[in-house]
């Protein structure tokens, strides 16, 4: 089964063709980073308008790369939640209309389920159940993937997502948008012990965490240095911040491994590209005798291939969209986002 998938939840307009959930026939990503970098972050209305301009172009490119005519696709999928609502509506409505016009099924896909499914494209042997750390721009959670369309949230952030913390700290350090890759690069030559940063503890919730204290500590450090006229060791601060994020996420995931006796562990979302996190996760896998599955770097960020991979399993579970299918800015990973006919 060949699915044409569309992704437009934030600042990438993407289209891909995926066969049977596992084989990538094409994967086109049109990024708006240069536009939003001018403003230091994503401007939602501009993102929606750029999706409008790009969605047909990326779809035609995905079909051309797969050497397919649009009438040869068996179904159309699109991200319908969560994300910037104006941005989501562009891809969701385009996908739904295309499916309607071609008389093919429409499959609404949850964006975070898609991030997890990116891993299926790289590891044909990976099957649920497995434990997942989700670390993206909008979400940070520890999730048990019980089956392809069945999820249990075991813990998560009480405030900012990991990626959000990276982006805010990047702004303070003046490295620009998007912050994650820039902080990662800056940290390569820094001393991770250079600055002492706080650790978050949530009483009676060992798998929950928080990034707001860490973010505030970095902001205060930067402001104090500026007021005193001291030069900040930016590389050291970036490295200390990466170490603190790792120290927030990895011990909780390790605790979840012990609690659930998981054998297989996945990390998904944009922050899964972070070099310090990837190294710490592979150390954890050795310590806990688990097998670690990390998506390749190009599938960590937003793309439509991951949406096409998850769409196949949603299709098999009967989770189809109907003519009144809507899009939603927020939705738990456990929620079935198909609107009833
Ligand atoms: O998953 P994603 O592409 O979008 C959402 O679904 O939110 O994640 C984007 C986030 C951004 O906050 C970005 O700064 C972060 O992922 N990110 C990174 C790295 N690459 C991207 N964070 C840390 N280190 C990286 N190498
Ligand atoms: Zn994402």
Q: Look at residue 177 and tell me whether its pLDDT is greater than 90.
A: no
Q: What is the CA(165)–ligand 1 centre distance, in A?
A: 10
What pLDDT shows up at residue 253? 98
Q: pLDDT tens digit string along 187-246? A: 999 999 999 999 888 999 999 999 999 999 999 999 999 999 999 999 999 999 999 999
Atom 12 (ligand 1): residue with closest C-alpha?
163
pLDDT band at 176 (very low <50, low <70, confident <90, very high): confident
Atom 22 (ligand 1): residue with closest C-alpha?
180
What pLDDT shows up at residue 70? 97
Q: pLDDT tens digit string along 89-108? A: 999 999 999 999 999 999 99
Evaluate: CB of 270 within 6 angstroms of ligand 1.
yes
Q: What is the CA(101)–ligand 1 centre distance, in A?
A: 35
Report how far apart, in Å, the C-alpha atoms of 192 and of each of 161, 235, 327 are.
21, 9, 41
Atom 16 (ligand 1): residue with closest C-alpha?
270
Pull the structure tokens for residue 110.
Answer: 């949850």
Q: 82 preceded by cis ω (within 30°)?
A: yes
Q: What is the CA(286)–ligand 2 centre distance, in A?
A: 28
Mutational test site, ligand 1, from 137, 243, 246, 307, max ligand atoms within 8 Å of CB: 137
Evaluate: CB of 274 within 6 angstroms of ligand 1.
yes
Evaluate: CB of 169 within 6 angstroms of ligand 1.
no
Q: Using alpha carbons only, how large is the chain's radius of gyration in Å?
A: 20
Closest CA to 154 of 136, 140, 137, 138: 140
pTM of the predicted model over 0.95:
yes
Closest CA to 162 of 183, 141, 144: 141
Q: Look at residue 313 and tell me whether its pLDDT is greater than 80.
A: yes
What pLDDT shows up at residue 201? 85
Q: pLDDT tens digit string along 254-275? A: 999 999 999 999 999 999 999 9
Q: How many CB atoms lie within 10 A of CB 296?
A: 11
Q: What is the CA(108)–ligand 2 centre distance, in A?
A: 15
Q: What is the CA(301)–ligand 1 centre distance, in A?
A: 6
Q: Which ligand is nearest to the CA of 140?
A: 1
What is d(CA 154, CA 110) in angstroms, rounded to the nearest whole number? 18
What pLDDT shows up at residue 341? 72
Which ligand 1 atom minimizes the distance to the CA of 269? 1
Atom 23 (ligand 1): residue with closest C-alpha?
180
By percentage, how much of the chain surpasses pLDDT 70?
Answer: 100
Q: pLDDT tens digit string along 133-150? A: 999 999 999 999 999 999
Pull the structure tokens for residue 254.
Answer: 């390790």
- Say which residue the tokens 């990034």 belong to: 211
Evaluate: CB of 271 within 6 angstroms of ligand 1.
yes
Q: What is the CA(32)–ligand 2 centre distance, in A?
A: 14
What pLDDT shows up at residue 178? 87
Mutational test site, ligand 1, from 271, 275, 297, 306, max ligand atoms within 8 Å of CB: 271
Which ligand 1 atom minimizes the distance to the CA of 137? 7
Evaluate: CB of 8 within 6 angstroms of ligand 1.
no
Evaluate: CB of 12 within 6 angstroms of ligand 1.
no
For the chain, give the longest Cα–Cα distance. 67
Report how far apart, in Å, the C-alpha atoms of 140 and of each of 46, 112, 123, 132 are.
26, 10, 23, 10
């Amino acid at each position: 089964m060949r699915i044409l998938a569309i992704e437009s939840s934030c600042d990438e307009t993407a289209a891909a063709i995926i066969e049977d959930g596992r084989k990538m026939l094409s994967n086109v990503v049109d990024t708006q980073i240069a536009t939003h970098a001018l403003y230091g972050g994503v401007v939602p209305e501009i993102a929606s308008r750029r999706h409008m301009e790009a969605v047909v172009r990326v779809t035609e490119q995905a079909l051309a790369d797969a050497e397919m005519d649009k009438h040869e696709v068996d179904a159309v999928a699109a991200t319908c939640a969560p994300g910037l609502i104006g941005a989501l509506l562009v891809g969701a409505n385009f996908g739904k209309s295309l499916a309607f016009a071609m008389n093919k099924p429409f499959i609404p896909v949850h964006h975070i389920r898609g991030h997890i499914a990116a891993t299926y494209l790289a590891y044909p042997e990976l099957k649920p159940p497995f434990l997942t750390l989700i670390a993206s721009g909008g979400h940070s959670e520890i999730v048990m993937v019980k089956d392809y369309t069945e999820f249990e949230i075991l813990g998560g952030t009480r405030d900012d997502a990991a990626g959000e913390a990276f982006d805010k700290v990047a702004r303070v350090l003046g490295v620009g948008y998007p912050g994650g890759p820039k902080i990662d690069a800056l940290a390569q030559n820094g001393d991770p012990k250079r600055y002492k940063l706080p650790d978050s503890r949530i009483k009676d919730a060992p798998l929950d965490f928080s990034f707001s204290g860490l973010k505030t500590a970095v902001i205060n450090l930067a402001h104090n240095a500026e007021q005193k006229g001291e030069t900040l060791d930016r590389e050291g601060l970036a490295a200390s911040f990466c170490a603190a994020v790792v120290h927030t996420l990895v011990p909780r995931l390790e605790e979840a491994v012990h609690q659930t006796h998981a054998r297989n562990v996945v990390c998904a979302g944009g922050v899964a590209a972070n070099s310090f996190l990837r190294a710490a996760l592979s150390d954890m896998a050795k310590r806990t005798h688990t097998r670690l599955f990390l998506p390749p770097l190009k599938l960590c960020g937003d793309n439509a291939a991951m949406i096409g991979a998850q769409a196949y399993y949603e299709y098999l579970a009967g989770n189809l969209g109907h003519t009144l299918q809507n899009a939603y800015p927020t939705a738990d990973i456990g929620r079935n986002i198909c609107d009833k006919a």
